[in-house]
Structure 1
Amino acid sequence: MLLFAKAIPAFAIIGICSALVISASSDPLPPGTTYRPLPTRPLSEIRADDEAQKPQVMARQADLLNRRYDLTNQPIAGVMMSGGKKPVQAGVRVKLPAGVTWDSLAAMSPDEIRQRGLLPEGFMPLPHVKQATGGQVFPDRQIDEIRRQESRDLRRFDVNFDLPDHLTAEFPPPIFLTTQPHLGDVSRGQLLTIKNFYELMNGIVTPVQMEGLRLLLTPFPQEEFNQTEDRKVADQSMGVTCLDCHSNFHTNSAFHLTPDVRPQSARFRLDTVSLRGLFNQQIHGSKRSLRSVEDFTEFEQRTAYFNGDHVSATRKGVHLPDRPNQVAMMAQMQNIVDFPPAPKLDPFGRLDPAKASEQELAGERAFFGKGRCGECHMPQTSFMDNNMHDLKLERFYRTGQVANDFVALPDGPIKTFTLRGIKDSPPYLHDGRLMTLADTVEFFNLVLGTRLTQQEKDALVAFMLTL
């Protein structure tokens, strides 16, 4: 384990929710606890401390993001997300170390990159905006719409969302159903909530699916958004819902920390994934490999929304859904959510040469050939393989590095995510560390050692935009 002399800033460990106990040691993995500590101070004191520290917390995260990425608004001309309201962003946003090009970096061995410290910071795991506390963080558009419709406040007083809106998913995203493909987007351009779901979905879904939808939209008192002393909202709240994060069964780019790792400083950021295409997915959760959507739904309802702590969940008012009469109905609703249309793909998930451009066809060849993407992202299973893979990124950097109180350890095996409709789901990778599809191409070109030319990289992006 590498040792670092730099102390973790005091503001990051003040507060009740911190699971870290800082010792005199400079070890980057200070002692932690498996369970979240119980609050010992009044909410008014916690809030005052958090609000005083918030400007410094947000400034520190902004410094990290601007050091790692070009965060400017650079849309691809004429390329929109599936709802037609938001353009897809262009270009590689990860910044290179001085004096290095993408081609020169790709020509180096992992050992050389690690020894010289040349792995771009944007390829490193991305810290939570407030790592020592963690918890779900929602973008402003979701917060504002839930407040408007339900008078329920998802805004935390200790942190704000940290990425610019143009680098996140379209909001609200369209909803496509496997049972009603002829209807197209059934959301009517609205965010589905407990206030409007019946009117929007009546006559479209079955009674069983409607009841599952009601439960998915019902707030339960878990995680930071609840009545307990360690909550991070100013007003008492019933909590959060499944579809607060998975807006319209897609993603709003909200993030949390993985429930599967301890201590707190080693828990990696977890970006909200889309629920589109669950009917083809056999494993759920980035690392836990839960084997059904029923298991996943029940597990998250019982363990405080991605904290993986049933003790904390019980104290806050855990929801214990009935497996046959509630969980099964929630799963039935989730399992009819479809991908957006991909008119250039044939029934086998390959490009129709009569509809695709030469660049898109070249990208498809690179995808299934030199780029090696198709080895994990298989078209017959919605461009995934229902397996978990370890990219061993730690070959390229020294483990134990600390960034904003997050300790970078090996990612280990992570499940393969679907690429269907991928243009709708920025940012990318399990922790959202890659802002654009062009970033993902550069990342995998380096990690897999594929030595793609610039023409092949551009073609790969063009192909993924058709999916």
Structure 2
Amino acid sequence: MRQPRQPRLKSLWVVCVTALGLSGLALAADPPPSSYMPVVITETFQAIKSRMEGAKRGVMQRHRSLLEQRYDLSNRPVAGLTMTRGKPVQGGVRARLPSGVTWEELGTMTPEQIRERNAFPIGFLPLPHPNHPEGGMLFPQFQIDELKRLEQRDLTRFDLDFDLPDHFVPEFPAPIFLTTRPDLGDVSKGKVVNINNYFELFNGILNPKQLEGLRLLVTPFPQQQFNQTEDRRSALPSRGVACLDCHSNGHTSAATHLVGDIRPQQFRHRIDTPTLRGVNIQRLFGSQRALKSVEDFTEFEQRAAYFDGDPVIATKKGINILDRGHQVHAMGEFQALLDFPPAPKLDIFGRLDPAKATDQEKRGEALFFGKAQCSSCHSPPYYTDNTMHNLQVERFFRPQMINGRFASADGPIKTFPLRGIKDSPPYLHDGRLLTLEDSVEFFNIVLQTKLEKQEKEDLVAFLRVL
């Protein structure tokens, strides 16, 4: 985190040196940018807590206003459609249109025309963290409450609350399916896997190495916002965060964070925590996809992402250095067992079984592999190409600051698998797309596929059965 500035003192200094004709002095200028966070904190913890608690209401109101400006946040589930364990799936396009333009018109315009008319929906711009200059791990309230009940461990932040309404995030607890025991179905038994119940739930299902890997995945370790130092965002010194807090039940609760590998702060991307389902078939990990195995990701996540990519701060707050040959490999082996949810309408090649699919789903599949160009990146059976693509979304809008996030080029982003996609809202790497309908409209504009209204509906119908 950046050390808090003292704007009032600085303004008084500027007034004084200006009055003396010394306004060109280097002392009046902002400090030079740094890749490092401050190690020595000059405020007491109580002063930091009091100041940030006092600012919290205004910070959250400002971000809430942005969300309401960008989206229709109402609870409008699709009739008869649920996630695997029964949570309703939200439907409809939720990104708000600019005044004087329709989705059909946007789909026919060139990037230059959209940019010139400032017609790109603001809900399709990069989504900032609820407090982007501050950042950090942030969990939904329902998850915080459950972990407090189960472990007496509190992931509440005194400075921020989670931002997206509960109906736009995955079901909780999420089901767990294992590649090694598909006959068991959901092995979570409707519970949040944690340090108190992991052995009871998985003893006799996993081998000893996998069980040890799971133990480590549910063990909390110090993290940037949750630790024992004065530079934390929890009221009490914290045991920290576990891997399966963000990736709850090996899936996701839509907990958010900022990538640790971009500077300065305003260029850092928000992260919508991805599911761990299907990591066994993936080959790129980390926010910049520099890690080539789930073991690499597991080891360096706690060295880097846990501390915003700052090894100096990691040393101060309690870095957890895992043993590669024993601990890391065991953790990776368990993660590789996490399977996608069942998709009863797909055959062994990941394509629709004609005997089970509706006519609309069949039309959607034809569009997916044809006019909509989805299969150019998302190929069956898991609907990924295990690489990255630069969508160049910046073609459609002028660079701009959005609540502390400088919206410009995203750069290359990973092709995530689409299997089980209806269980994993919101969408895109930063969660800016709240529904599958939003995703179809976004890619119709960005890829310029010129889909008709009925074609968009058919494509969504196909995505829901993957």
**What TM-score, normalized to structure 2?**
0.93
Q: Is 1:15 aligned to residue 4 of structure 2?
A: yes
SS at match of 2:314: helix
The aligned counterpart of 2:78 is: 76
Identity over aligned pairs, percent: 58
Q: Relative to structure 1, is the Cα distance of residues 315 and 440 closer, same or farther in structure 2, using a 3 angstrom cutoff?
A: same
1:394, distance to aligned residue in structure 2 (A): 0.4
Asked if 1 retains the 8 angstrom alpha-carbon contact of 2:283 and 2:292, the reply is: yes
Q: Relative to structure 1, is the Cα distance of residues 452 and 306 closer, same or farther in structure 2, using a 3 angstrom cutoff?
A: farther
Equivalent-residue separation in structure 2 for 1:172 and 1:240 (angstroms): 17
Asked if 2 retains the 8 angstrom alpha-carbon contact of 1:304 and 1:313, the reply is: no
Equivalent-residue separation in structure 2 for 1:107 and 1:97 (angstroms): 15
Equivalent-residue separation in structure 1 for 2:184 and 2:358 (angstroms): 28
The aligned counterpart of 1:112 is: 113
Q: Is 1:349 aligned to residue 338 of structure 2?
A: no
Equivalent-residue separation in structure 1 for 2:52 and 2:305 (angstroms): 21
1:32, distance to aligned residue in structure 2 (A): 3.6
The aligned counterpart of 1:405 is: 404
> For each residue in 1:123-154, what CA deviation from the matched residue of structure 2 results, as whole angstroms up to 9, or x when unmatched?
00000001111000000111001100110110
Equivalent-residue separation in structure 1 for 2:312 and 2:241 (angstroms): 18
Q: Is 1:392 aligned to residue 392 of structure 2?
A: yes
Asked if 1 retains the 8 angstrom alpha-carbon contact of 2:209 and 2:330, the reply is: yes
Equivalent-residue separation in structure 2 for 1:402 and 1:95 (angstroms): 19
Q: Is 1:425 aligned to residue 424 of structure 2?
A: yes
Asked if 2 retains the 8 angstrom alpha-carbon contact of 1:246 and 1:273, the reply is: yes
1:303, distance to aligned residue in structure 2 (A): 1.9
SS at match of 1:305: helix
1:36, distance to aligned residue in structure 2 (A): 1.6
> For each residue in 1:47-103, what CA deviation from the matched residue of structure 2 results, as whole angstroms up to 9, or x when unmatched?
00000000000000000000000000000011110112x100010000000110001
Equivalent-residue separation in structure 2 for 1:306 and 1:191 (angstroms): 25
Q: Is 1:34 aligned to residue 35 of structure 2?
A: yes
The 5 A counterparts of 1:129-208 are 129-208=130-209
Equivalent-residue separation in structure 2 for 1:163 and 1:415 (angstroms): 23
User: Equivalent of 2:60, from 58, 61, 82?
Assistant: 58
Asked if 2 retains the 8 angstrom alpha-carbon contact of 1:94 and 1:120, the reply is: yes
> For each residue in 1:151-190, what CA deviation from the matched residue of structure 2 results, as whole angstroms up to 9, or x when unmatched?
0110000000001000111001000000110100000000
Asked if 1 retains the 8 angstrom alpha-carbon contact of 2:362 and 2:462, the reply is: yes
Equivalent-residue separation in structure 1 for 2:135 and 2:229 (angstroms): 16
The aligned counterpart of 1:9 is: none
Aligned partner letter, 2:421? I
1:261, distance to aligned residue in structure 2 (A): 0.9
Equivalent-residue separation in structure 1 for 2:152 and 2:292 (angstroms): 36
SS at match of 1:218: coil
Q: Is 1:261 aligned to residue 262 of structure 2?
A: yes
Aligned partner letter, 2:79? A
Asked if 2 retains the 8 angstrom alpha-carbon contact of 1:15 and 1:49, the reply is: no
Q: Relative to structure 1, is the Cα distance of residues 376 and 297 closer, same or farther in structure 2, using a 3 angstrom cutoff?
A: same
Aligned partner letter, 1:64? L
Aligned partner letter, 1:316? K
Which 4+ runs in 1 deviate beyond 2 A? 12-16, 21-24, 29-33
Out of 273-282 and 33-42, give the one that drifted further: 33-42
1:304, distance to aligned residue in structure 2 (A): 4.8
SS at match of 2:232: coil
1:31, distance to aligned residue in structure 2 (A): 5.9
Equivalent-residue separation in structure 2 for 1:179 and 1:265 (angstroms): 43
SS at match of 2:300: helix
SS at match of 2:257: strand
Equivalent-residue separation in structure 2 for 1:408 and 1:36 (angstroms): 23
The aligned counterpart of 1:4 is: none
Asked if 1 retains the 8 angstrom alpha-carbon contact of 2:220 and 2:239, the reply is: yes
1:405, distance to aligned residue in structure 2 (A): 1.1
1:286, distance to aligned residue in structure 2 (A): 3.2
> For each residue in 1:299-339, what CA deviation from the matched residue of structure 2 results, as whole angstroms up to 9, or x when unmatched?
11112526111211111000000000100000000000000
1:260, distance to aligned residue in structure 2 (A): 1.9
Aligned partner letter, 1:15? P
Asked if 2 retains the 8 angstrom alpha-carbon contact of 1:377 and 1:419, the reply is: yes
The aligned counterpart of 1:8 is: none
Equivalent-residue separation in structure 1 for 2:243 and 2:386 (angstroms): 23
Out of 227-236 and 334-343, give the one that drifted further: 227-236
Q: Relative to structure 1, is the Cα distance of residues 389 and 205 closer, same or farther in structure 2, using a 3 angstrom cutoff?
A: same
- Report how many aligned residue pairs link the two structures: 445
SS at match of 2:81: strand
The aligned counterpart of 1:441 is: 440
Out of 160-169 and 107-116, give the one that drifted further: 107-116
Equivalent-residue separation in structure 1 for 2:397 and 2:443 (angstroms): 15
In structure 1, the gaps of 5 or more residues are 1-11
Q: Relative to structure 1, is the Cα distance of residues 306 and 419 closer, same or farther in structure 2, using a 3 angstrom cutoff?
A: farther
Equivalent-residue separation in structure 1 for 2:31 and 2:109 (angstroms): 34
Aligned partner letter, 1:155? T
> For each residue in 1:350-409, what CA deviation from the matched residue of structure 2 results, as whole angstroms up to 9, or x when unmatched?
0000000000010000001000001100103x110110100000000112x011111112
Question: Is the radius of gyration larger for structure 1 or structure 2?
Answer: 2
Q: Relative to structure 1, is the Cα distance of residues 31 and 125 closer, same or farther in structure 2, using a 3 angstrom cutoff?
A: farther
Asked if 1 retains the 8 angstrom alpha-carbon contact of 2:284 and 2:291, the reply is: yes
SS at match of 2:386: coil
SS at match of 1:379: coil
1:13, distance to aligned residue in structure 2 (A): 7.9
**What TM-score, normalized to structure 1?**
0.93
Equivalent-residue separation in structure 2 for 1:142 and 1:33 (angstroms): 35
The aligned counterpart of 2:451 is: 452
1:106, distance to aligned residue in structure 2 (A): 1.4
Asked if 2 retains the 8 angstrom alpha-carbon contact of 1:47 and 1:157, the reply is: yes
Tell me the C-alpha RMSD between the 2 structures: 1.8
Equivalent-residue separation in structure 1 for 2:410 and 2:289 (angstroms): 13
